[in-house]
Amino acid sequence: MEQGMMSDGIEEMQASEQQTISQEGSGADVVSVEDAVPVEGSENLGSDATGETTGGASAEELQQEIASLRAQLDDRTTQFMRIAADFDNFRKRTQKEREDLELQVKCSTVIEILPVVDNFERARSQIKPQTEEGLSVHKSYQGVYKDLVDRLKRIGVAQMRSEGQEFDPNFHEAVLREASAEYPEGAVIEELVRGYTLGERVLRHAMVKVAAAPEDGGSTAPESSTSEASEA
């Protein structure tokens, strides 16, 4: 029985020693963990300075990138404006060329028709119908003439009215000159062939007779008559 009591005491002593050793080991672990934990704020001292440096460099890079983008935008804007101006000039030039071509074709067509108009006008002035049948035919082709002239007017063709106007080489072609006391020198006495315009363009110059200064003989004849009468 004593031996059992002794063995129980030995086991209790061993268990107590193991518990003490375990507590000491855990205490050492706690101390080591505490030593490993840094003081609050101490680890940020170096990182704050590094962060400020890094942040400053990033802002500078951003400013440089913004300046570069602005320069690219200005360059693209200039290119766009130049292209837009070139396109506008091209559009205007193309439109003018098209209008000039249309006007040229129109003028060429009308010039080919003008002799037909001349023939109608000659017939109207020279033919005097004597019968009802002739008068009916005359009215018929004069109706055709009127319709033709009206259609020419609708596309911008205009007849010149030259008689009594001052001679202008831009619109008139002088075919004859005739002394006249009725018209001033250089005035158009008669329009022999009618001229035509289309807008500001002359399709055909008017062929005209131009007034010249009166001859001196006409003014001196009364004086000679007077002298002869006095001698008699």
pLDDT 10s digits, 177-193? 999 888 999 999 999 99
Mean pLDDT of all residues in 196-212: 94
With a cut of 70, say whether residue 226 has pLDDT above it: no
HEC per residue, the chain = CHHHHHHHHHHHHHHHHHHHHHHHHHHHHHHHHHHHCCCCCCCHHHHHHHHHHHHHHHHHHHHHHHHHHHHHHHHHHHHHHHHHHHHHHHHHHHHHHHHHHHHHHHHHHHHHHHHHHHHHHHHHHHCCCCCHHHHHHHHHHHHHHHHHHHHHHHCCEEECCCCCCECCCCCEEEEEEEECCCCCCCEEEEEEECCEEECCEEEECEEEEEEECCCHHHHHHHHHHHHHHHHC
User: Over the chain, what is the mean pLDDT?
Assistant: 78
Residue 120 has pLDDT above 80, yes or no: yes
User: What confidence score (pLDDT) does residue 29 get?
Assistant: 46
Residues 5-49 have pLDDT tens digits of: 555 555 666 666 566 555 554 444 444 444 544 545 445 544 444
Question: Residue 31: its pLDDT value, please?
Answer: 44
Whether the per-residue pLDDT at 223 is higher than 80: the answer is no
Considering 57-66, 163-172, 223-232, the range whose residues carry the highest mean pLDDT is: 163-172
Going by C-alpha positions, the residue among 139, 142, 203 that lies closest to residue 171 is 203
What pLDDT is attached to residue 7?
54
